[in-house]
Amino acid sequence: MDAPTTTSADNGTSGGGGGWFTPRKQPATTPGSEPETAEGQRLAALRPVGRTATAGGDGAASSAPDDAPGADDAHRVSDGATTPQRGAPAAISTPEPPPSGHIPPTPSTPASAPAPTPGQVPHTPAPAPMPVLAPQTATAAAPGQAPQAAATLAPGQAPQAAPAPPSSLAQPAPHPHVPTQRPAPAQPASPDAILIRRTMAEVAPVADKVTSYFYALLFVRHPDLRSLFPAAMDTQRDRLLKALLTAAEHIDNTPVLVDYLQNLGRGHRKYGTRPEHYPAVGECLIGALSKYAVGVWNGEMEAAWVRAYTTISQVMIDAAAADELRAPAWWYAEVVAHDLRTSDVAVITVRPDQPYPFLAGQYTSLETPWWPRIWRHYSFASAPRSDGLLTFHVKAVPAGWVSNALVHRARPGDIIRLGPPAGSMTVDHTTDSGLLCLGGGTGIAPIKALVEDVAEHGERRPVEVFYGARTDQDLYDLDTMLRLKQSHPWLEIRPVVDRHGLLQLPEAIRQYGPWTEYDAYVSGPPGMIRSGVDVLRDIGIPSERIRHDSVEELVAAN
């Protein structure tokens, strides 16, 4: 099933406007033309200082990776189907949930970085430093070698090795580290955060032009990168903006921002992203912002963005270097089973070409042979299995290139590619708290994985699952869930069908409870996630005990 994502379309062509880049205080010129000295000088200022990692493979940079949301990422859509098993619990009647959409990680974004050198950015008194986004890993540059940076994502060839990080990172972790979501600290915004948010507010009305212009600059100045991006760039533009907004929102929330950026850095390995790509992306990003935020842009604001982007890029570079010691950039996987549950929902099982470590509740990015360089997110529909097989629930959505290919074209024997696992919607086995799970449509996939995970740990903690859909036929996996209930007395399954009743799925949980001693898990369309989090907080579950994978919702929730 599609993991957290946004709802942007999966096809179309690039649009938006945007004129030629005009360097600050200089006549307007065409990208790449002679008078771009000031812009070109920003490149060196955007290089991480004192640390670097190099990757010698082919690849490209992109400020908005393809594994960000798209139409296929309508994860947790309340559409599905399979007639429920006879004798199934009576479904709770509820009104129509919001349109399906989905939730997950988005592209890279700006944050903090070292002050530019004189002659690159007009020197102004530097604002008080923002909280340092200390990456957990860092690689030292070779003596006499200038530090390098890398570009925010772009789908591409196989990434290659980067220098090994410090020995303290050499020990591979048995499982991916899954940080929990933490609320932003209650403290005044830093000077850099204020400047960055002011920029975002200024460009918000012309966001499409900003992102289109950014890519125009990137592809004109670095044409070799264009071939590594999808043919249609419409969703790419959306991802860049969402990434920028996420970084701006969390600029002072170091734990949240670092977790987010490290995940991006690891995920970008599958595109072949190299450290030297980052300065190019940062240069074009600042060029686009300075053009469209002209009303507020000045040397102080530019310096804040340079500091932010430099720090962000270093966090991503270090995370990628550390991850290279533990796992490949991607896995090949063969489709071994394709079960068409309804006309538009399929349960697909694949066999990776090598061990694939993940945790129940996580998701991965997936690329099909029919749409190269287009990656979409899907949650694992089971806990790790002894045979190493992986299962996904996929719903074909309108304009969904990848989802339609998987549902209607994929067959056993086909080979796909998988990115690394990601996500923090996992079970905390150090407590005995109950689990309250809300799954809408294909959002039941990670919920099922969580139930299996609890069962395999031999725990008898109470687990309450509310399984929502628009019709009885859309409860396509209800039979499986009911079989789990028969085997585990601590498990309760409550189907919730929308018949334009009095309640939506999140509201249905008010009829039961109390839930104050439960950890909550929410998986489904963005609208259900938003209302679900609100209801869960309202009934007394603290924010730190509510888990869901959605960068978009993370921004709103914190």
| Separation of alpha carbons 441 and 525, rounded Å | 8
Which residue among 265, 293, 325 closes a domain? 325
* Token pair for 243: 């990434």
Band (245; pLDDT cuts 50, 70, 90):
low
| Separation of alpha carbons 69 and 2, rounded Å | 9
**Contact in structure between 178 and 334 (CB atoms under 8 Å):** no
Sheet containing strand 415-418, strands side by side:
375-379, 363-367, 415-418, 331-340, 345-352, 390-395
Band (525; pLDDT cuts 50, 70, 90):
confident
Alpha helical stretches, state H, 123-276: 191-203, 207-221, 234-249, 254-267
* Whether residues 261 and 278 fall in one domain: yes
Closest CA to 504 of 542, 535, 465: 535
* Whether residues 320 and 348 fall in one domain: no
Write the CATH number for 530. 3.40.50.80
* Whether residues 454 and 544 fall in one domain: yes
Cα 377 to its chain centre, rounded Å, is 8
Number of independent structural domains in the chain: 3
For residue 130, the number of C-alpha atoms closer than 13 Å in the C-beta half-sphere is 34
SS3 for 194? helix
* Token pair for 37: 């000295």
| Separation of alpha carbons 382 and 380, rounded Å | 6
Q: Name, in order, each residue with C-beta under 8 angstroms of 91's C-beta and a sequence gap of 6 or more.
A: 84, 472, 475, 495, 496, 497
* Whether residues 307 and 357 fall in one domain: no
Does 367 have pLDDT greater than 80? Answer: yes
Does 173 have pLDDT greater than 80? Answer: no
Does 36 have pLDDT greater than 90? Answer: no
| Separation of alpha carbons 188 and 460, rounded Å | 44
Q: Provide the pLDDT for residue 501.
A: 54
Quick count: other Cβ atoms within 10 Å of Cβ 70? 34
* Whether residues 269 and 342 fall in one domain: no
Does any domain span residue 297?
yes
Q: Going by DSSP bridges, is the β-strand pair 345-352/390-395 parallel, antiparallel, or unpaired?
A: antiparallel
Which residue among 364, 391, 422 closes a domain? 422
* Whether residues 538 and 553 fall in one domain: yes
Does any domain span residue 143?
no
Does 452 have pLDDT greater than 70? Answer: yes
Q: Provide the pLDDT for residue 529.
A: 84
Average pLDDT score over residue span 138-165: 38
Does any domain span residue 132?
no
Full DSSP string of 280-338: HHHHHHHHHHHHHTTTT--HHHHHHHHHHHHHHHHHHHHHHHHHHTTS-S-EEEEEEEE
Does any domain span residue 62?
no
Does 448 have pLDDT greater than 60? Answer: yes
| Separation of alpha carbons 154 and 64, rounded Å | 7
**Contact in structure between 33 and 408 (CB atoms under 8 Å):** no
SS3 for 407? helix
Average pLDDT score over residue span 475-497: 95
| Separation of alpha carbons 139 and 49, rounded Å | 11
**Contact in structure between 185 and 236 (CB atoms under 8 Å):** no
SS3 for 551? helix
* Token pair for 478: 């209800």
SS3 for 69? coil
Does any domain span residue 14?
no
Write the CATH number for 361. 2.40.30.10
CA angle 33, 37, 39 (to 5 degrees): 90
Question: Average model confidence (pLDDT) for the chain?
Answer: 72
* Whether residues 451 and 414 fall in one domain: no
How long, in residues, is the chain? 558
- Please give the residue range of the domain that contains residue 553: 434-557
Q: Provide the pLDDT for residue 336.
A: 98
Average pLDDT score over residue span 173-194: 61
Q: Which amino acid makes up residue 506?
A: P
Does 492 have pLDDT greater than 90? Answer: yes
* Token pair for 481: 């869930």
Band (503; pLDDT cuts 50, 70, 90):
low
* Whether residues 198 and 302 fall in one domain: yes
More confident residue, 132 or 529: 529
Does any domain span residue 492?
yes
| Separation of alpha carbons 288 and 317, rounded Å | 23
Write the CATH number for 260. 1.10.490.10
* Whether residues 358 and 314 fall in one domain: no
Among the ranges given (28-42, 312-326, 346-360, 473-487), the one the predictor scored with the smallest mean pLDDT: 28-42
Reported pTM: 0.64
Does any domain span residue 93?
no
Percentage of residues in the chain having pLDDT higher than 70: 61
* Whether residues 345 and 321 fall in one domain: no
DSSP letter at 2 equals: B
* Whether residues 210 and 312 fall in one domain: yes
* Whether residues 317 and 335 fall in one domain: no
Closest CA to 266 of 33, 108, 40: 108
Which residue among 395, 422, 449 closes a domain? 422
Q: Name, in order, each residue with C-beta under 8 angstroms of 459's C-beta and a sequence gap of 6 or more.
A: 429, 432
Does any domain span residue 146?
no
**H or E stretch covering 444:** helix 444-456
Does 34 have pLDDT greater than 80? Answer: no
Q: What are phi and psi of 2, to 5 degrees?
A: -65, 135
Q: Which amino acid makes up residue 195?
A: L
**Contact in structure between 112 and 23 (CB atoms under 8 Å):** no
